[in-house]
Amino acid sequence: MTTETTGQLLCSCCGGASSPPQHFCATCEHILPMPDRVSYFEFMELPIQLSLDARLLQQTFYRLSRQFHPDYYQNRPGPEQKAALERSAALNRAYDTLQDTVKRVEYYMKLVGFVSEGKKNQVPPDLMMEILDLQEKLDDQQSASPEQKLARPGNRCRDCRHEGKTRRSIRETGRSVCPARPGGSRGQSRISPAAA
């Protein structure tokens, strides 16, 4: 149950009030009823953002699913059984949405008010693809080592500094090829310090 004035959750065991998205009473540590409104990100104790650490998401899911599993509450009073069942179902919905990139983007856009809840396909497919591409590039960039960032295709050549030109890179060898070698068309090859 949620109090109307404060939006806090009332513990069915001790009557103590806790703020969502807490899952357990701060006083007696019993499971709390489901709040009226809480985002999947908050429910799973994750930051509200498009980019999520997949491993952290999975670890959080497993940890919370053990805590909310209805079998652990079968000998508890009815309100606690109901709370465990509701939280377990909400956790499964949240994980299903957040682990799938397309569903996560759609949910995020609804959450921030970009898409109305009742209307379908408001996000143009090309915008969705652009968002997913940017998300993938951001994830790659954040997980790459400094050497991989240096040897990424599309980085500007540090040797000749040609404006508008980009270098091609071969990650395995650590070599980068300048596309505008003075006096020739094949480019200039340079071994990066990381590969030497």
> How far is CA 49 from each of CA 62, 98, 112, rounded to the nearest angstrom?
21, 10, 10
Residue 57 predicted with pLDDT over 90:
yes
**Average pLDDT taken over every residue of the chain:** 75
Residue 153: inside a domain = yes
Domain that holds residue 67: 9-139
Residue 33: inside a domain = yes
pLDDT-derived band at 148 (thresholds 50, 70, 90) equals: low
When divided into structural domains, the chain yields a total of 2
- Report the pLDDT value the prediction gives residue 175, as an integer from 0 to 100: 52
Whether residue 33 is found in the same domain as residue 61: yes
Percent of the chain clearing pLDDT 90 (strictly above): 25
Convert 127-165 into a string of H (helix), E (strand) and C (coil).
HHHHHHHHHHHHHHHHHCCHHHHHCCCCCCCCCCCCCCC
- Report the pLDDT value the prediction gives residue 169, as an integer from 0 to 100: 44
Whether residue 109 is found in the same domain as residue 72: yes
The pLDDT tens digits for 78-133 are 888 999 999 999 999 999 999 998 899 889 989 888 765 555 556 677 777 787 78
- Report the pLDDT value the prediction gives residue 4, as an integer from 0 to 100: 39
Helical (H) or strand (E) element with 81:
helix 78-99
Whether residue 161 is found in the same domain as residue 76: no
Residue with tokens 């997980």: 143
CATH number at residue 85: 1.10.287.110
Average pLDDT over residues 22-40: 86
Whether residue 20 is found in the same domain as residue 85: yes
Q: Give the global pTM.
A: 0.58
Whether residue 153 is found in the same domain as residue 93: no
Whether residue 99 is found in the same domain as residue 23: yes
The pLDDT tens digits for 179-194 are 555 544 444 444 444 4
Whether residue 27 is found in the same domain as residue 102: yes
